[in-house]
Amino acid sequence: MISTGRAARITGATILCASILAVMSGGTPAIASPDDELSQEVSISAPMTIAYFDHDVAAAHGFEIRIDDSGREYSVPVTEAAKTSAGAASGEVRTMGTVKGPCGTSTLLLARNGPEAVRIGTAFRVYAPTLWHVWNVSLVNSYGGWNENFDGGPTTGTWDATHEKYIRSSHGVSAQVTPGSYATLVNGAVCFSGGPTAGS
């Protein structure tokens, strides 16, 4: 699973710290060598939000979509199996997500993988198992633009994947989890990525 902790262990991170300290002290910033640049990674996370609920998905998995006093939909487990999966006690009414509310975190990792390719890692962590996800990462550099597809099936709620992409030059690359990328949860929540971005 990709995490910001992993990014902290990046080779060359000490060079960045040294540069910042040098600037703060009025000294000359350290300059990364080509080998350092090739090994650097950037990992960025952004929140995920429930855009709406799929009523059919919710019903098929033992959840019911209700409306609160403010008019927002929310999901409640109603079958014993759904209550068990939600960690709710028998007879307890437990809300599992509200429209426009948070549902997890999405992450994007970008690393140069030689002078002409990049390594793209992306991940999400949401509060319930997922049935499927529609997920893309877009990349742009001076040679053009690309779209890398990461669609997939059921997960436990924690998912990650890594692809290598040849893009002619790994310098000056901008990457983003494409707006509109989402995961569908078993309680019917359709959970959209906040679109984290990273650059090389």
The third-level CATH classification (topology) of the domain covering 41-52+100-199 is: Immunoglobulin-like (2.60.40)
User: Per residue in 39-62, pLDDT tens?
Assistant: 578 999 999 999 999 999 999 999
User: Per residue in 86-101, pLDDT tens?
Assistant: 776 556 667 888 999 9
Lowest-confidence segment of 5-14, 41-50, 102-111, 157-166 by average pLDDT: 5-14
The pLDDT of residue 86 is: 78
First-residue to last-residue Cα distance in the chain: 21
User: How many alpha carbons lie under 13 Å from residue 9 in its C-beta half-sphere?
Assistant: 4
Q: What does the alpha-carbon distance between residue 34 and residue 48 come to, in Å, rounded to a whole number? A: 36
- Quote the tokens at residue 62: 């033992």
How much is the mean pLDDT over the chain?
82
Predicted confidence band at 11 (pLDDT cuts at 50, 70, 90)? very low
The pLDDT of residue 93 is: 63
Amino acid at 48: M
Mean pLDDT of 116-145: 96
- Quote the tokens at residue 124: 């999400």
pLDDT at 19 over 80: no
Give the residues across from 22 on adjacent strands.
Answer: none
pLDDT at 138 over 50: yes
Between CA 79 and CA 55, with CA 152 as vertex, the angle to 5 degrees is 35
Hey, where are the domains in the chain? Answer: 41-52+100-199
pLDDT at 21 over 80: no
Q: What does the alpha-carbon distance between residue 193 and residue 180 come to, in Å, rounded to a whole number? A: 7
The pLDDT of residue 89 is: 58
Percent of the chain predicted with pLDDT > 90: 67
User: Per residue in 74-84, pLDDT tens?
Assistant: 999 999 899 88
Predicted confidence band at 18 (pLDDT cuts at 50, 70, 90)? very low
